């Protein structure tokens, strides 16, 4: 049975079939990001694998996500002919919801890193080293802007557009699985360890559960921003396998012990602790959503949650 999320307004254009939607999403991501990947490599800001060379390279990679956002918005506006509210950009107090999500994302990342450290996966090397360099602090602020763009666009594309499109065509379970599969596929690379891929899939389930519960993408956008930015700048460890090249904002940590504990080259996202936390968080979100449905509270008609 098909389900509506965010808005029950009918699409005036073409809604892609169930199986086609993930491939269209992957296609839109590819045509919007591949040209900038080649350009940044040609200009020397990234290497042949797409990894950034220095902080400027990372910032430009994050900034290039604006083209992905434009591709998604163009598709929604001119192909499906539906409003931005129908992909989750709706509800009252969006900035407040974003900030609540941001704080929760920072708290989640801080908690994970602390748990790994207490388990022996990190040792402390220095405290607040970034404050010795005004230039580093400036870059950390710029990276907050960059991660805000990157993470927000990803949430709009996957949890906003793709998730809602599949729900319109089929149902919630299919939307969860296909959205997570597409999101994980686009984060896959040859030789990537299994744990980070599992984390990516489980994170997508968590994010889908969040938007279904809250009926907007504002909160999970903020969470994703806080998670990426704090993880990449606070501890001098990789985030999604990428290095910022900056001194740590909070505490410089050195990985010790097995990679399944500290994530190795992937950073905390590759830790078994992260996978476990997101599984628990996903189950809690799904349970709350199910309880609301059983209580006859209709999530698609309420946008008051963060």
Virtual torsion, Cα 28, 30, 35, 36, nearest 10 deg: 90
> Band of the pLDDT at 246, cuts 50, 70, 90?
very high
| Structural domain includes residue 138 | yes
Residues 105, 37: Cα–Cα separation, whole Å: 28
Q: What is the pLDDT of residue 2?
A: 59
Q: What is the pLDDT of residue 304?
A: 53
- Taking alpha carbons only, the member of 271, 293, 290, 270 closest to residue 282 is 290
| Structural domain includes residue 5 | no
Average pLDDT, whole number, for the chain?
Answer: 91
Other C-beta atoms lying within 10 Å of the C-beta of residue 32: 21
Q: What is the pLDDT of residue 169?
A: 83
12 vs 77 pLDDT, higher one: 77
216 vs 169 pLDDT, higher one: 216
Beta strands in the chain (DSSP E): 122-127, 251-255
Whether the CB-CB separation of 14 and 184 falls below 8 Å is answered with: no
> Band of the pLDDT at 1, cuts 50, 70, 90?
low
Element (H, E) at 70: helix 65-74
* Number of domains the chain is built from: 1
Q: What is the pLDDT of residue 8?
A: 77
Q: What percent of the chain has pLDDT over 90?
A: 77
Mean pLDDT of 263-267: 92
| Structural domain includes residue 12 | no
Domain that holds residue 84: 20-301
| Structural domain includes residue 263 | yes
Give the Cα-Cα-Cα angle 262, 154, 58 (nearest 5 degrees): 60
Which has the minimum average pLDDT: 92-101, 206-215, 283-292?
283-292
Q: What is the pLDDT of residue 121?
A: 96
Mean pLDDT of 236-241: 91
Mean pLDDT of 75-95: 92
Q: What percent of the chain has pLDDT over 70?
A: 94
Task: Record the tokens describing residue 211, joined without a space.
Answer: 């938007």
DSSP-based three-state secondary structure for 124: strand
State the residue for tokens 């990985």: 255
pLDDT tens-digit series, residues 156-193: 999 999 999 998 888 889 999 999 999 999 999 888 88
On the question of pLDDT at 299 being above 70, the answer is: no
| Structural domain includes residue 10 | no
Residues 65, 70: Cα–Cα separation, whole Å: 9
Task: Record the tokens describing residue 198, joined without a space.
Answer: 């599992």
pLDDT tens-digit series, residues 97-136: 999 999 999 999 999 999 999 999 999 999 999 999 999 9
| Structural domain includes residue 293 | yes
| Structural domain includes residue 212 | yes
| Structural domain includes residue 7 | no
Q: What is the pLDDT of residue 298?
A: 52
Beta pairing partners, 123: 254
On the question of pLDDT at 58 being above 60, the answer is: yes
């Amino acid at each position: 049975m098909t389900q509506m999320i965010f808005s029950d307004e009918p699409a005036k254009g073409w809604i892609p079939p169930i199986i086609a939607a993930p491939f269209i999403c992957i296609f839109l991501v590819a045509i919007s990001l591949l040209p900038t990947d080649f350009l940044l490599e040609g200009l020397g800001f990234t290497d042949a694998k797409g990894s950034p060379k220095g902080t400027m390279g990372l910032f430009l990679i994050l900034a290039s996500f604006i083209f992905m956002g434009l591709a998604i918005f163009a598709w929604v506006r001119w192909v499906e002919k539906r409003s931005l509210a129908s992909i989750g950009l709706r509800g009252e107090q969006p900035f407040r919801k974003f900030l609540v999500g941001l704080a929760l994302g920072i708290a989640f990342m801080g908690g994970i890193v602390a748990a790994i450290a207490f388990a022996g996966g990190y040792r402390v090397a220095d405290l607040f080293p970034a404050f010795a360099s005004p230039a580093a602090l400036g870059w950390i602020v710029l990276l907050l802007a960059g991660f805000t763009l990157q993470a927000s666009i990803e949430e709009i594309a996957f949890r906003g557009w793709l998730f809602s499109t599949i729900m319109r065509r089929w149902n919630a379970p299919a939307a969860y699985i296909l959205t997570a599969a597409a999101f994980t596929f686009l984060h896959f690379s040859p030789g990537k360890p299994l744990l980070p891929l599992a984390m990516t899939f489980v994170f997508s389930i968590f994010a889908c559960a969040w938007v279904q519960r809250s009926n907007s993408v504002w909160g999970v956008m903020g969470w994703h921003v806080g998670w990426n930015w704090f993880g990449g700048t606070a501890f001098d460890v990789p985030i999604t396998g990428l290095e910022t090249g900056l001194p740590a904002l909070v505490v410089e940590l050195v990985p010790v012990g097995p990679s399944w504990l500290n994530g190795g080259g992937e950073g905390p996202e590759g830790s078994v602790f992260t996978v476990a936390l997101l599984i628990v968080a996903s189950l809690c979100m799904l349970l709350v959503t199910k309880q609301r449905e059983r209580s006859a509270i209709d999530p698609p008609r309420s946008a008051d949650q963060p």
